[in-house]
Amino acid sequence: MSGNRLAIASVVLVALLGLTVWRLNTKDEKVASAPKASVELPKFERDAIEELVLAAPDKPKVRLVKKGEDWQLAEPVAAKADANAVKTALDKLGELEITGVAATKAKNHERLEVDAAKGTRVTANGGGKPLLDAYIGVYRSGNSMLRLEGQESVATVKGSIRYAFAKELREWRDRRIAKVETDDVNAIAFTNSHGEFRFEKSEDSWKQVAGPKIDPLDETKLKGIVGSAASLNAVDFAAADISADKAGLGETAARFQLEFGGDAGAGALAYRIGSLNEKNYYLQMEGDPQIYLVSNWIGGRLSAGPEVLTKKEGGDEASPKDPATGEPTLGSRANPIPVLPQAVQPGAPPGTPPGHPPVSPH
């Protein structure tokens, strides 16, 4: 009797072992046969891109279009685009290389910042058709997250790329105000509250030819001003509601004129330097309606007077420098804090330096 039971138990055990092995084999077959998640980028040539539409969180949507060989900003304003910024964006699109898949479910989109709320959406068009529509997310372990519009899977692409598309509006605009070869400049003139001063170049030397005598003249500093004025770039653009009068660019504004010759022929350009807006000066080139913002350093130099142009014992070497720009810091001997008109600092007593709060009347 006991032998029969033992035989039955053995049969049952063998059957259970067989069933277990069969289920494990079946499971392995299903796993092996399950398709691996993959993302395939659409194929296009970098030079086929004729339009870029970029939408980054907390930034206005930007639309860039190719006109001939140049790129223009079409939205949110119409302006010439910064060539280097556009080149970087196009290069990144042309170099996209998938290195893997980070996620396959929509629940991961927010975490990887490839959803509509946090992702930087990049749409590239060319030949009247879409070439790429994707969200670019976080950068991790040498890769950026990328999700194609309409797909759940999130790919990893080589390198950091989001910075090339999530720029401030000013960074997409061409901020060059003027470009003249420094060696072609032969005369400059300052007209401001300090008086009228004119300087002319003879060979490689600069001499004062008009205005209250500046002695000794800091010729090195004067040459630096010439270089800055000849190749002038803005740091930003005035807000749309800022008029020339609001910016202090009326008839009484400080004026700087630069005259030049060279192979292209003789010419001149003039800047008007307005009031200080926080850390930057308003500036307008005569003949150009655009109002720019230039650094405090540039604005102060273009409206300089005897205090700046007089050579000081020991020079500016003793003045502390900004480590980021190499320029003397605001408030140093070489870059004193300008005293602005009362209208620029409402509620402040005359002579209050910018950045100081108005004195309460109570």
247 located within any domain: yes
For the chain, 362 residues long, give each residue's pLDDT as a single digit of tens.
Answer: 555 565 565 655 556 666 565 565 655 444 343 345 688 999 999 999 999 999 999 999 999 999 999 999 999 999 999 999 999 999 999 999 999 999 999 999 999 999 999 999 999 999 999 999 999 999 999 999 999 999 999 999 999 999 999 999 999 999 999 999 999 999 999 999 999 999 999 988 999 999 999 999 999 999 999 999 999 999 999 999 999 999 999 999 999 999 999 777 889 999 999 999 989 999 999 999 999 999 999 999 999 999 999 998 765 544 544 544 445 554 555 555 444 443 344 444 444 444 444 434 33
Kindly report, residue by residue over 169-219, the tens digit of the pLDDT.
Answer: 999 999 999 999 999 999 999 999 999 999 999 988 999 999 999 999 999
Same-domain pairing of 230 and 308: yes
The predicted structure's pLDDT at residue 204: 86
Residues 180 and 205 in one domain: yes
Give pLDDT, residue 81. Answer: 97
Last residue of one domain, picked from the residues 172, 193, 210: 172
Residues 327 and 183 in one domain: yes
pLDDT tens for 47-70 read 999 999 999 999 999 999 999 999
Residue 185, H or E segment: strand 185-192
Does residue 30 form part of some domain?
Answer: no
Domain that holds residue 109: 46-172
Residues 115 and 180 in one domain: no
Shared domain check, 273 and 165? no
Task: Report pTM.
Answer: 0.73
Of 112, 141, 172, which residue is a domain's last? 172
Residue 350 lies inside a defined structural domain of this protein: no
With respect to residue 5, please indicate whether it lies within any of the assigned structural domains: no
Note whether 211 and 313 are same-domain residues: yes
- Residue 34 counted as domain residue: no
Q: 225 and 326, same structural domain? A: yes
Do 70 and 157 fall into the same domain?
A: yes
Residue 167 lies inside a defined structural domain of this protein: yes
**142 and 222 in a common domain:** no
- Which CATH number belongs to the domain containing residue 158 in this structure? 2.60.40
Domain final residue, candidates 143, 172, 201: 172
Residues 193 and 305 in one domain: yes
151/188 same-domain check: no
User: What residues pair up with 325 in beta bridges, in sequence order?
Assistant: none
Whether residue 195 sits in one domain with residue 164: no
User: Does residue 252 fall inside a structural domain?
Assistant: yes
- Domain total of the chain: 2
* Domain contains 161: yes
